[in-house]
Amino acid sequence: MGPEQLADRYREFQEYVGWTEDDAARVLAIAPLARAQIPALVDDFYEEIERHPNARKVITGGQAQIERLKGTLARWVEELLSGTYDAEYVARRWWVGWRHVEIGLDQAYTNVALSRLRSGLVRAVSQAWQGDAAACELSIRSLNKLLDLDLAIIEDAYQAEYAQRLQRNERLATLGQIAGGVAHELRNPLNVVKTSVYYLLNARNLTPEKKLEHLERIERQVELADKVIQSLSSFARMPIPNLVPFDASALIHETLASAPPPESVSVSIRFDPEFPETLGDPGQLQIVFSNLIRNACDAMPDGGRLEIAGRYEGDCVRIALTDSGVGIPSELLPKILEPLFSTKARGLGLGLAIARSILEKNEGSLQVESIPGTGSTFTVRLKAVTVSEPAR
């Protein structure tokens, strides 16, 4: 958060607790009473930390560090009593929270430590107060508001840092997954290339036919490796779809023709007679259907039935692909649309993730139902071109 945003946020909190210039004036008025006790409060603060191993462990620099920290804390209390609560003040408060999470202090300890400091300040002011008790009460209330505001900003910093840390960890985990998937998918072709090269260099009996065979094999595997990179980068930046009306049934037939399922899989296609034109990017949607058909066939290694049914529902169309394959265990259902998740021996685990991502960009959706041992249904929903709303 930038200093401006922080200051805005602090002002919002001030409004929330009803902080006014009067509060600032009251704190300033009691400042001399509290200031006398700062060294004692600071000492008490660090003595208490010494008694709590979980708090103590974040101080790794020994006595010298404690002395420095005492100086910082004394300045922090001085600023608290300064009567000036500007953007710079807020930024320094925020930094305190940030620093504490950075050194690994459990957030609860900032709360209880501040509570202890608060008690000390209140005690110091009450004992030294020379006037009427009601006025004392008011001043202490102002001091409490100020401390609560400090605490709110510190907690904000804690949350921001935690969110960042979480994101960093997630990024690292994703990177690990990608590395694993890519390693596997690239090392297989590399394995072929390397062994072919070895053969070409070392074979005792290299015939021209063998030489050609190995060179062609190297070329084929290099192309396979390149496809891995292609599919990763096309997933990373799928272009914005060009939504046009198209014939979904014809697209399915084309997709099946360009990559026919094995003969052991019987395919039936049923579209409602009144099935309308569909709105979407046919080029991208062909990737979706080809991924879904390939998945269905992979789920039926010993053959089976693939039923593709198109239905018209109000302003959208529903195309369901039902296979009679192995099905998906219910505990895996939430994961299978995630990128880099795969149950197969080969592949990056991007097929369904790409399908979902394309459908979302085409203003559609993908839904999965499955009964292990019976089969799965992947349902694609897309916008229909209705009579009242002609093609865009």
Partner 1 sequence: MIPAGTHRILVVDDDPDICLNLNDILTDRGYQVDVAHNGSSALELVRATPYDVALLDLRMPGMNGLELYREIKKLRAGTVAILVSAYAQGDTTEQALAAGAWRVLSKPLDPAELDRLLCTALDQPHVLVVDDDRDLCANLWELLRERGYRVGMAYDARTATIQIRACRFHVVLIDMKIPNGTGQDVYRAVRHANPEARTLLITGNQCEMAGLVEQVLADGADGVCYKPFDLDELLGKLDRLARARDA
Q: Interface with partner 1 by CB under 8 A: which residues? A: 180, 183-185, 187-188, 190-196, 198-199, 202-205, 210, 213-214, 217, 220-221, 301, 344-346
For strand 265-271 and strand 304-313, is the pairing parallel, antiparallel, or unpaired?
Answer: parallel
8-state DSSP, 372? T
| Three-state DSSP class for residue 234 | helix
168/194 with CB nearer partner 1? 194
CA distance 381 to 313: 10
8-state DSSP, 324? -
Minimum CB distance to partner 1, residue 221 (Å): 6
362/376 with CB nearer partner 1? 376
Minimum CB distance to partner 1, residue 200 (Å): 10
Minimum CB distance to partner 1, residue 45 (Å): 46
> Kind and range of the H or E element at 369?
strand 365-371
1/224 with CB nearer partner 1? 224
Minimum CB distance to partner 1, residue 355 (Å): 21
| Three-state DSSP class for residue 390 | coil
**CA distances (Å), origin 326, targets 175, 337, 377, 380, 392:** 30, 17, 12, 20, 41
Minimum CB distance to partner 1, residue 258 (Å): 23
64/345 with CB nearer partner 1? 345
141/210 with CB nearer partner 1? 210
Minimum CB distance to partner 1, residue 196 (Å): 6
130/205 with CB nearer partner 1? 205
CA distance 215 to 208: 11
Q: Residues near 391 by Cβ (< 8 Å), separated by ≥ 6?
A: 244, 245, 277, 279, 385
